[in-house]
Structure 1
Amino acid sequence: MTDTKVWLVTGAGRGMGVDIAQAALAAGYRLVATARDAANVVAAVGDHADLLAVSLDITDTASIDAAVHEAIDRFGRIDVLVNNAGNFQAGYFEEITPEQFRAQIETNFFGPLNVTRAVLPVMRRQRSGQIVTITSTAGIVSGAFGSAYGASKFALEGWTESLREEVEQFGIQVTAVEPGFFRTELLVEGSSTLWSDLSIDDYSDTASTIEAWKSMNGKQSGDPAKLAASLVKVIELDEAPARWVAGADAVEAVKQKGQALIEQADAHLDLSTGLDHPDHAS
């Protein structure tokens, strides 16, 4: 046992999770790296003395509890949790089945909540820890063909904001990370991306929109290895930021959304203000 911090990273068997896991090990941290099948972690990340690869399904609380117990048995503590696992349910809202929409929320929203719920008691006992949740630029700026994904990521943003205030009293810091487009497996069909099951004639451009999304795979501007290296530095800051916006495209999109919100708040001040109850003291 050493004083070296212990990271737990979900979704470390493919995509950005692999880069985050490798960056944590390269920085000298001990690592619990999880995936639905632990063998995928070892295959992707490689063997390492400070690596514990564990099978974990973020939608299965029993597997989460087992993984956390295994982490504690091996390393004795968990200092950094990186909620990374997730997927992308693409499609127009009307063409996404209720079951698909619920599955998106179950994975992308309740999944990180499940893992965090299992890890928080460990961090509270330690009176220290850091929870980092990978949301998305889509958690700030959603758009057409991304209603289910955007809803799941917006939910994560709201939860993260509240959680940050709730657990700071225990010495636990909370950060949301909003990546832009990075060259990961997110757009690989059958891997991390799911397409809508329904077909409605009025949405005549569905097929071409799907092809447009597919064509982006492998051409995204962001380098996930660079994101992972920078994420290590963000986590090492003395004071964790509430948000870390990752990628020049993400920074621009979030800035534009911030300005749009200000303009929308100011747009109808004559209707928005002067609504206090007569009994309310100014």
Structure 2
Amino acid sequence: MAIVLITGCSTGIGFETALQFGRSGNQVYATMRNLDKAGPLRDAARQENLDVRIHQLDVDSRVSIDAAIAAILAEAGQVDVLVNNAGVTGMGSIEETTDSELHAVMETNFFGPLRVIRGIVPAMRERRSGTIVNVTSVAGRLVAGLASQYHCSKWALECASETLALELRQFGVRVAIVEPGFFVTPILDKAAEAWGDNENAPYADLERRMRDLYAQATVGGGHPSVVARAIENAVTTTEPRLRYLVGADAESFVGGRQRITDEEYLVLGEEQSDEQWWTRFMEMFPMPVEA
């Protein structure tokens, strides 16, 4: 049995990950910013008789993090596994994104995980054991137009995670990066609704294409339980890796981007018809029949 701390558990990937680790007999501390949203997870865990204990933790607040970790350590004695999952979306062009909008996304998606890590790592390092899983995204491996805030935060977390993996290796603490593709979660729903339909807007063509892409993903995207199983596997595997792509579309996105040059990729930003854009997009990223 492991003591598992997970952030962002009210819905989506965090919700499913809490249940997944609980089903495997672990003692799970499922945290979330707003405990008013704890009902569904509490009911699901009770129905399956899982040891899932819900705590308030806002990754944007050092005070909240310290209080949650102190309470968990007082009860459990240690944390064996940390899963940094809490996150928010952030869409918009570089030109139209304000400083405050970018700061807000970076606060949750980048600085938040680092705050939790700093609260957990000292004990793991001294104990010379533990696993940290940072949930990033394929958005941390390649970019799409009009998603600057989200991509910047995930690229930054990828960098910090790899750095942390190097730093902690000598102490027997492992870091894993889980990179989902499109999965149907509230974040995906919010992203699909992020762009307007003003055809006179400067980035109207790209907004329309991104809106269509995300709308398709909300229909064809995978279930977050798939990511939950991948996270557990990243922790329990006997052949650990640093990075875990999750979802057939994730393999297509990252593999496709690696196969082409920067200049070949940038043609997606050229002025062109929707038909031309989608033809080029599918040539770069041939999607499996079922992602």
Determine the structure 2 residue equivalent to 1:81: 82
Paired AA for residue 100 in structure 2:
E
| 1:225 CA drift (Å) | 1.2
SS at match of 1:44: helix
State the Cα distance separating 1:262 from its structure 2 match: 9.8
- Deviation of the 1:122 alpha carbon: 2.0
CA shift, 1:250, in A, is 0.5
Determine the C-alpha separation between the residues in 2 that align with 1:119 and 1:42.
27
Task: Answer whether contact 1:163 1:174 (CA < 8 A) is retained.
Answer: yes
C-alpha distance in 2, partners of 1:165/1:31? 27
- Is there any run of 5+ residues in structure 2 with no aligned partner, and where? 265-291
1:91, distance to aligned residue in structure 2 (A): 1.3
- Per-residue deviation at 1:117? 0.8
Percent identical among aligned pairs is 34
Question: Which residue number in structure 2 is paired with residue 8 of structure 1?
Answer: 5
Tell me the CA shift for residue 39 of structure 1: 4.4
Indicate the SS of the match to 2:149: helix
Aligned to 2:276: none
For 2:259, the equivalent position in structure 1 comes to: 259
Structure 2 residue matching 1:256: 3-state secondary structure: helix
SS of 2:41 mapped into structure 1: helix
Question: Residue 102 of structure 1: SS of its match in structure 2?
Answer: helix
Counterpart of 1:112?
113
**What amino acid sits opposite 1:5 in the alignment?**
A
Give 1:83 deviation, angstroms. Answer: 0.4
**Mean alpha-carbon deviation: is it higher for 166-175 or for 34-43?**
34-43
Give the TM-score normalised by the residue count of structure 2: 0.81
Distance 1:141-1:148 versus aligned 2 partners, 3 A rule: same
CA shift, 1:185, in A, is 1.2
Name the counterpart of 2:30.
Answer: 33
Contact 1:33 1:51 in 2 (8 A): yes
Deviation track 1:64-95 (CA, whole Å, cap 9, x = no partner) reads 01111111111111011000000111111112
Aligned to 2:15: 18
Rounded to whole Å, the distance in 1 between the matches of 2:254 and 2:107 is 26
Structure 1 residues 68, 194: CA separation in 2 closer, same or farther (over 3 Å shift)? farther
Q: More deviation in 215-224 or 110-119? A: 215-224
Contact 2:192 2:215 in 1 (8 A): no
Does the 8 Å contact 2:146/2:207 carry over to 1?
Answer: no
Superposed displacement of residue 168, structure 1: 1.1
CA distance in 1, matches of 2:13, 2:192: 14
User: Match of 1:125?
Assistant: 126
State the AA in 2 paired with 1:139: G
TM-score calculated relative to the size of structure 1: 0.83
Q: Secondary structure of 1:143's partner?
A: coil
Q: Classify 1:193/1:79 alpha carbon distance in 2 versus 1 (closer, same or farther; 3 Å).
A: farther
Distance in 1 between residues matched to 2:214 and 2:244, nearest whole Å: 27
**Judging changes above 3 Å, is the alpha-carbon distance between structure 1 residues 194 and 89 closer, same or farther for their aligned structure 2 residues?**
farther
Deviations 1:23-65 (A, max 9, x none): 0101111101000123423432433562221100001011001
| Shift in Å, 1:15 | 1.3
Paired amino acid for 1:258: Q
Seen in structure 2, the aligned counterparts of structure 1 residues 145 and 173 have a Cα distance that, compared at 3 Å, is: same
Gap change, CA 1:81 and 1:194, over 3 Å in 2? farther
Letter of the 2:109 partner, please give it: N
Query: Could you tell me which residue of structure 2 aligns to residue 234 of structure 1?
Result: 234
Q: Aligned partner of 1:168: which letter? A: R
Over the aligned positions, Cα root-mean-square deviation in angstroms equals: 2.5
- Tell me what 1:57 maps to: 58
Deviates more, 1:175-184 or 1:254-263: 254-263
Report if the CA contact (8 A) 1:12-1:35 is conserved.
Answer: yes
Q: Which runs of 5+ in 1 are unaligned?
A: 265-282
